[in-house]
């Protein structure tokens, strides 16, 4: 009887290891996705800073064009002033010039604001660039480790699966079925030790009769409480 228990324990050991390895393997894609998302977020922060900087350049150019047009208009008015002999027309043009000069002054203020913003953005962009490079290389390194881990886990799982198949063929079909059902339904613990007459699966004391039956080693003995297969501790 101890022989079958030994075989079952060996099988359970493989199944438990397989379960742990498969759980680890299953968690890896999500870990990888998290790292990829962190890289993308760093890239987005950099992109945002760069986009604002480009927007400022475009706005500055458009303001420059607008200011140039206004200055041209002022020059035109001044030429007209020189050509007129009518006082009324002269002062009307002076009034126009004053109005356009005010507009130019507003445009120039806006240009200064934009230049100041651009200056403030420069260190932000270089900080974002640096942090992006750092994050990228850090997380890419971690992704490479994950990929290596994935490969190693797959290899170990394949090896264990082969060993598991071999171990299972040595066990009688009925016993194997019973074991597998217990392993599935009892959280990966199908065969457990009985210690001081307490089942280490459900932590309940068994009857003296169960304990005696187990020591007799004549049949497979189950815990009356949880149904797990019992074995005597080594
Ligand atoms: Zn039990």
Contact 49, 206 (CB under 8 A): no
**139-187, pLDDT tens digit by residue?**
999 999 999 999 999 999 999 999 999 999 999 999 999 999 999 999 9
**Could you tell me the distance, in angstroms and rounded to a whole number, from the CA of residue 158 to the centre of ligand 1?**
32
- Domain spans, the chain: 21-171, 172-234
pLDDT band at 1 (very low <50, low <70, confident <90, very high): low
**Could you tell me the distance, in angstroms and rounded to a whole number, from the CA of residue 189 to the centre of ligand 1?**
10
**73-90, pLDDT tens digit by residue?**
999 999 999 999 999 999
Give which of 62, 57, 66, 96 is closest to 79, Cα–Cα: 96
Number of H helices, E strands in the chain: 4, 3
**Could you tell me the distance, in angstroms and rounded to a whole number, from the CA of residue 212 to the centre of ligand 1?**
16
Dist CA 101 CA 72 (whole Å): 11
**Could you tell me the distance, in angstroms and rounded to a whole number, from the CA of residue 206 to the centre of ligand 1?**
8
Dist CA 220 CA 164 (whole Å): 21
Give which of 12, 21, 38, 31 is closest to 158, Cα–Cα: 21
Whole-model pTM: value is 0.75
**Could you tell me the distance, in angstroms and rounded to a whole number, from the CA of residue 171 to the centre of ligand 1?**
23
**Could you tell me the distance, in angstroms and rounded to a whole number, from the CA of residue 200 to the centre of ligand 1?**
7
Q: Which residues surround ligand 1, an ion (CB under 5 A)?
A: 199, 201-202, 223, 225-226
**Sign of dihedral through CA atoms 152, 155, 159, 165?**
positive
CATH class, 21-171 region: mainly alpha
pLDDT band at 189 (very low <50, low <70, confident <90, very high): very high
């Amino acid at each position: 009887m101890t022989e079958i228990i030994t075989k079952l324990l060996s099988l359970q050991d493989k199944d438990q290891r397989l379960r742990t390895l498969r759980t680890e393997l299953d968690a890896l894609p999500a870990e990888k996705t998290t790292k990829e998302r962190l890289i993308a977020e760093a890239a987005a922060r950099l992109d945002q800073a760069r986009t604002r900087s480009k927007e400022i350049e475009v706005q500055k150019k458009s303001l420059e064009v607008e200011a140039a047009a206004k200055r041209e208009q002022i020059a035109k008015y001044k030429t007209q002033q020189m050509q007129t002999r009518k006082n009324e027309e002269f002062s009307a043009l002076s009034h126009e010039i004053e109005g356009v000069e005010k507009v130019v002054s507003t445009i120039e203020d806006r240009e200064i604001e934009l230049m100041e913003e651009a200056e403030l953005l420069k260190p932000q962009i270089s900080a974002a660039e640096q942090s992006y490079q750092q994050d990228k290389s850090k997380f890419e390194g971690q992704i490479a480790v994950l990929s290596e881990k994935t490969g190693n886990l797959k290899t170990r799982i394949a090896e264990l699966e082969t060993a598991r198949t071999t171990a299972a063929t040595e066990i009688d079909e009925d016993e194997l079925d019973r074991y597998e059902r217990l392993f599935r339904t009892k959280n990966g613990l199908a065969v457990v030790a009985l210690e001081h007459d307490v089942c280490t699966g459900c932590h309940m004391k068994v009857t003296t009769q169960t304990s005696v039956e187990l020591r007799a080693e004549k049949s497979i003995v189950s815990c009356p409480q949880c149904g797990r297969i019992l074995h005597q501790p080594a």
